[in-house]
Structure 1
Amino acid sequence: MQTSTIKLLRALVCMMLMNSLNAVADKVVTDSPVTDLSQFAYPVQDAKEAFKREQYAFVGIQLHDTLETPGVTAREVEVWSTQPVEPLNTRWQSFANIEEDRTALLRLRQYANRYNLMTLKLLKEKRRSDTMRYRY
């Protein structure tokens, strides 16, 4: 009798913990400074589409005192792009620091890294094709 009661109590405690974890996960996503993380799902495709529209800007993450550009150095940004770095998050809209939400920050860094590397690759290919185009 006692073992079945203990098993039932354990099952109830596990169910309560699972429900509370789901609620915490929902809170993290909805309270994130970046409101919609699903828009950062396809960095390579986004970079190619922006390149077709002749938008050659790199993307960055606006932190408290700096603008971080994962995947490229500040010198590469200066050499390869004539447009300013576009921040993925805007601090004045979010009213919260991205540093507080580690999962959102990691997701933005991964997205920006792949986006910037693809943009850099496309810029190098464009420069190579432009120099070879008019050779006779």
Structure 2
Amino acid sequence: MGDSGSSKRMWCSVPEKFQLHGAMLALQFGYAGFHVVSRAALNMGVSKLVFPVYRNIIALLLLLPFAYFLEKKERPAMTVNFLGQFFVLALVGITANQGFYLLGLENTSPTFASAIQNSVPAITFLMAAILRQLIN
């Protein structure tokens, strides 16, 4: 009935290492395309305040069916406390991040935005290391 030897399933004949590299490559191309589309939208006169709203609404519409149907039985009940926390997190985290990104993109090029985006994990690591030394 089930395979007793291996708990991993292979979705296709491509090895997992190459699947991961392909996924990362596709993600980077997606980000590069987003930088170019964002710059074109800014050049056409789209407001820096309205653009993140459009982006978040489109993301909501694309991800909502997956979140609803795939995690229907696993997610906790929605309470007012959860909704409030989600709102504050979205406002401070995602919307502020996108606003600052668009402000920077207006003054630079999509190429520079793509290059700087890859340095975010390194800067985060350095900030964490410095703050850990200050706290201890």
Q: TM-score with structure 2 length normalisation?
A: 0.31
Whose radius of gyration is greater, 1 or 2? 1
**Larger % of strand: which?**
1
Q: TM-score with structure 1 length normalisation?
A: 0.31
